[in-house]
Amino acid sequence: MSVLQEYKCPSCGGSLEFNSKIQKMKCPYCDTEFEPEAFKELDEALSEEAVKDDSFSWTDTEKSDWTKEDGENIRAYVCNSCGGEIITDDTTAATSCPYCNNPVVMKEQLQGLLKPDFVIPFKLDKKQAMEAYKKHISGKKLLPAVFKEKNHIDEIKGIYVPFWLYDAAVQGSAQYKATNVRHWSDTNYNYTETRHYSVFRGGNMAFSKIPVDGSTKMADDLMESIEPFDFSEAVDFGTAYLSGYFADKYDVSMEDSIIRANERIKKSTVDALSSTVTGYTSVMPTGSNINMLSGSSKYALYPVWLLNTTFNGQKYTFAMNGQTGKFVGDLPMDKSKYMKYFGISTAIGTAAGFIATILFNLFFG
């Protein structure tokens, strides 16, 4: 069994949790508050290299209903508060005991090279995440009525998602074909003049803290859609910020994440160069060349609220930035409402065209 970190209130012995509203550790029983920095000494050992892993390992006599591969990805812990067994996968870094609900942190998942450099603490709580969800589904005309009336959230949890943050210096260039078109007339003719240009743009750019999520559990496009995070509010990592939330360690390495980081950096570079090509009637890109001059990375945990619901056998996942409140998620569409709406719009457009034809014939026919 592996060792857990729990934060106990010195006043009453209750389990402390990080409170996003006051940005402090707070006891839910006696309301005593503590600064997260007060527990910094408990984290100093995490900077050392990880000790020998004594986590749950597979044997043929244990958990015979699991495969060997399952056993290798499972971790078992004993809750310090109630003695209950906590079973998690091998990427979980913070969770709660399923028996007494006390928040726990898996220290071994945050030791040595696994220790994050930074964390952005949660600023928004579960109630605010639910309010954002209700706002998200309100006013959607094509949303099935039964989804809005009878829908319920199957699961809502605050989770610290692992992110790799990349700094990079880039040299880029891009080429374009552009035109300027001018029209004029005299008493005899209408004229059109088209001028063609070859346009070149180039320069050096610097990128700071480009985020790429390091968890295979999280869809990259979902995590990118709730950006940006404000890194100015990041603090040095401390396990106290994780208490009361879920957290994962990365399972996509820094080296493997570089591919997506490079894609984002290259796209941003091309977009920045393209934004300077103005004053033309038309612009067509013909090529680009982006070179990475240097780069570095850091490891951080970012706050995300995840909400899951099921409708007609399909799972819908919503995500909210736990710092800024930006909320995203796909919604089901009522096909009958869509056809009705589309039919009315088409009918209106057809009727408008028919009326315009009649008026034209009346006045000009």
Percent of the chain scoring above 90 in pLDDT: 44
Give the pairing of strands 92-96 and 246-248. antiparallel
- Specify the amino acid at residue 107: K
Rounded CA-CA distance 89/215 in Å is: 13
What does the mean pLDDT of the chain come to? 82
Q: What is the pLDDT of residues 77-131, one digit of tens each?
A: 888 777 777 888 888 888 888 778 888 888 778 777 688 999 999 999 999 999 9
Rounded CA-CA distance 226/320 in Å is: 7
> Lowest-pLDDT range, 57-61, 155-159, 211-215, 279-283?
57-61
CA proximity to 302, closest of 212, 216, 221, 364: 212
Give the model's confidence band at 351: pLDDT under 50 very low, under 70 low, under 90 confident, else very high: low
- Residue predicted with more confidence, 338 or 176: 176
Q: What is the pLDDT of residues 174-209, one digit of tens each?
A: 999 999 999 999 989 999 999 999 999 999 999 999
- Tell me 192's DSSP state: E
> Lowest-pLDDT range, 65-69, 166-170, 298-302?
65-69
- Residue predicted with more confidence, 156 or 310: 156
CA proximity to 227, closest of 328, 322, 321: 321
Residue that is written with structure tokens 């990427």 in the block: 91
At 69 the pLDDT is 52
At 53 the pLDDT is 40
| Type and span of the H or E element at 269 | helix 254-274
Q: With helix as H, strand as E and coil as C, how does 143-189 read? A: CCHHHHHHCCCCEEEEEEEEEEEEEEEEEEEEEEEEEEEEEEECCCC
Q: What is the pLDDT of residues 32-90, one digit of tens each?
A: 888 888 777 666 655 554 444 433 333 333 444 545 555 567 778 888 777 777 888 88
Which distant-in-sequence residues (6+ apart) come within 8 Å of 361 by Cβ?
none
Over residues 341-365, mean pLDDT: 52
For the chain, the residue count is: 365
At 359 the pLDDT is 46
Task: Look up residue 226 and give its two tokens.
Answer: 């709730």
Strand stretches in 186-281, DSSP E: 190-213, 235-236, 246-248
Distances (CA, A) of 196 to 5, 51, 192, 284, 287: 68, 67, 13, 11, 17
Rounded CA-CA distance 299/284 in Å is: 39
At 345 the pLDDT is 53
Task: Look up residue 241 and give its two tokens.
Answer: 């910020």
| Type and span of the H or E element at 150 | helix 145-150
At 336 the pLDDT is 66
- Residue predicted with more confidence, 44 or 156: 156
Over residues 305-315, mean pLDDT: 87
CA proximity to 118, closest of 179, 80, 59, 160: 160
